[in-house]
Amino acid sequence: MNWWSQQAHDSAAEAQAARPSPESQMAVAQITALLSIAEALHKIAEMMQERKEGTS
């Protein structure tokens, strides 16, 4: 997990704890989903960069 991902997870958990509600639960779920997508894209970008460097 990247530092920015961990920080976003922590912030979402703090917000949920400070004001628990169905809306904040939904927001946490959305943040988690977006972070998963961002992490996947980050991994893809790293693999593409490694492949590019390997063929150069």
Contact (CB, 8 A) for 32 and 16: no
Cα–Cα separations (whole angstroms), residue 31 to 24, 41, 43, 47, 54: 10, 15, 18, 24, 34
The predicted model gives 25-31 an average pLDDT of 89
Supply the pTM of this predicted model.
Answer: 0.72
Gap between the Cα atoms of 11 and 20, Å rounded: 13
Q: List, as one string, the DSSP characters of 20-49.
A: -SHHHHHHHHHHHHHHHHHHHHHHHHHHHH
Residues 40-53 pLDDT 10s: 999 999 999 999 99
